[in-house]
Amino acid sequence: MSKAIIRLVTCGSVDDGKSTLIGRLLVETDSVPDDTIAAARDVRRAGSTVKKGDIDFSLLTDGLEAEREQGITIDVAYRSMQLRNGRRLIIADAPGHEQYTRNMAVAASRADIGLVLVDATRGIRPQTLRHLHICSLMKVSRIAVVVNKLDGVNYSQEVFETIKRDLQPAIDRHGLTDVEFIPVSALSGDNVSVATDKMPWNTGPTLLDYLQHWPEQLDTENAPHLGVQTISRAENFRGVAGTVFGGSFAVNDEVVVLPSKKRARIARISTFDGDLTTAPDLSAVTLVLDPDVDASRGDAIELASNYVEPANRFAAEIVWLGDSELIHSRSYFLINGSTIVPAMVTAIRHVININTGEHESARTLKTNAIAAIELATDAAIALNSYSKNRYSGNFILVDRATMSTVGAGMVTHQLRRSSNITEHHFEIDREIRAKQKSQKPQVIWMTGLSGSGKSTIANALEKQLFANGIHSYVLDGDNLRLGINKDLGFTKEDRAENVRRVSEIAKLMFDAGLVVIVALVSPYKVDRDHARELFAEGDFAEVFIETPAEVCAQRDPKGLYKKAAAGELPNLTGVGQDYEAPTSAELVLDGQAPLEQSVEKLINRFF
């Protein structure tokens, strides 16, 4: 089955002329309504040099008023163009500014062809290389490098050949084998849809000819994947609804529900327009399974003869899109289709230098960084290799505090350790251990600034619990940094790892039936929330020791504030680093109140 729709992403650095090129291509193929063309003769972008009455082609892809006011492309503009062979071309005009790289990455993830523009008057720029790299990561295997604005260099063949030669190392580095260099002048129209006599040295195709001769692509038929979006119920059936990617399903196919690996047969394929015998690629369907095995939103359906083994450890390549740096060991939401699972980056293998292609070491990722990473998910999920399936092999990372997308990733492969580790369940469990001690285990997590009184209150509370016959243990931040956490500093990523380790230790002690008292600055809400998620509701309590920063500085029991004032301690919480106070703690204690009063409140609230 031939692919009727071709998706093209145009990218490159800002002001390379993407919008003008696409606008002209649309006009010269009669793909723009007459009233839109008329408006492009009257309205002008900020700073436009196009004379009134002439068509400002760049306006034809602007979708936002802000784009016209600022004279730049901000969002991805999608336009449709009918090719002469009857196939339809969907053009994504991606923004060139670095701050909008995330928009370009999204457009490239669905593209068949990448059109990378280079301004002949400026040459190759960092964003050109970044976009070329992202296209290769997103498996956009066919690339047209369009050298624009040749009218600005007198249609020089030497300039064109120099750009071609200088870009070749990056092309070779990314393993791109289907690359065509096309010289054009979008403003004058040379070689866009018609070749002119201004570049007699050019023997290659026009841009339109290149697009027209896109080879027929056959849809893959060997690895269909349906992410369950919802459970559809009616009087006579219950089915799993979603969109088919990467192949097709048919009635009577044996399928597997992932990650549970429960098997069933497709008894019926239902759509809004009626039943089908086959669910083709990109079709939205409801599959009725026999037997009616348990499945829910976020699960995946694949053929029993060819399915991805669920895993919880992956190697991946990622484009970091967040305004804030990646925090090592911090929990994010990993989203693939309808599947959402907590995940953390466990290792940064290397960051890729987009100018040289060299692999550089890094402890964190900054905005627009491209890196190879390892990540772990809290539960096994069915992620494929991106090279095998672009739909079941992609993911995004979402900041759990702001719910903003901070990373776009492509799975390289599953890590072997994912299948080499098996959880063991022992007969003596937490309930039996707790019954032996005649107590209810729980975690009391005390957070506050250094000097707020956490350790002092924790010590007094444990003494009272000991007197009451309750088995407890204090996990103190400083004590842990003398042992298991001695390798950690006080950067954001080290603090996240500190909280992660302490929370896992607390979970083990909780499982032993103990009351665990944690005294830890733990300055970031998202890290404390991740610790909470390890426990069932009612087993974890956050206690905020509220003490003014000036009081903590006056106490200064460890001399930390004195060092911070002298510039010797840049990462002290509340001075060099922010502290995110709890907004919904189970208990707030006044750090200046008498110690006995704080202990009494804790006993009355939790015991």
Q: Is 343 exposed, middle or buried (0-12, 13-18, 19+ CB in 10 A)?
A: buried
State how far Cα 5 lies from the chain centre.
Answer: 27
Query: How many whole angstroms separate alpha carbon 501 and alpha carbon 486?
Result: 12
- Contact predicate 103/95, CB 8 Å: yes
Q: Which residues contact 537 (CB under 8 A, 6 or more apart)?
A: none
Using alpha carbons, select from 524, 541, 502, 519 the residue that is nearest to residue 581: 524
Would you give the DSSP letter of residue 421? -
Instruction: List the alpha helices (DSSP H) in 470-524.
Output: 477-481, 492-511
State how far Cα 127 lies from the chain centre.
Answer: 20
3-state secondary structure 95-146: CCCHHHHHHHHHHHCCCCEEEEEEECCCECCHHHHHHHHHHHHCCCCEEEEE
- Contact predicate 361/352, CB 8 Å: no
State how far Cα 18 lies from the chain centre.
Answer: 26
As given in the structure block, the two tokens for residue 390 are 């672009």
φ, ψ for residue 25, nearest 5 deg: -60, -40
Biggest distance spanned by C-alpha atoms of the chain: 97
Residue 359's beta-bridge partner residues? 352
**C-beta neighbour count of 175 within 10 angstroms:** 8
Query: How many whole angstroms separate alpha carbon 209 and alpha carbon 194?
Result: 9
Residue 11's beta-bridge partner residues? 116
The three-point CA angle 591-442-588 to 5° equals: 20
Q: Sort strands 142-148 and 178-183 into parallel, antiparallel or unpaired.
A: parallel
- Contact predicate 231/216, CB 8 Å: no
Using only C-alpha atoms, what is the Rg of the chain? 30
Residue 10's beta-bridge partner residues? 93, 115
Q: Is 200 exposed, middle or buried (0-12, 13-18, 19+ CB in 10 A)?
A: exposed
Query: How many whole angstroms separate alpha carbon 607 and alpha carbon 604?
Result: 6
Q: Which of 13, 109, 270, 522 is catalytic?
A: 522
Would you give the DSSP letter of residue 232? E
Using alpha carbons, select from 297, 288, 308 the residue that is nearest to residue 225: 308
Would you call 584 a catalytic residue per the annotation? no
User: Could you write out the DSSP letters of every residue in 424-452?
Assistant: ---SS-HHHHHHHHTS--EEEEEE--TTS
Residue 230's beta-bridge partner residues? 241
CA distance readout (Å), 106 to 9, 235, 408:
10, 40, 8
Catalytic positions, written as ranges: 522
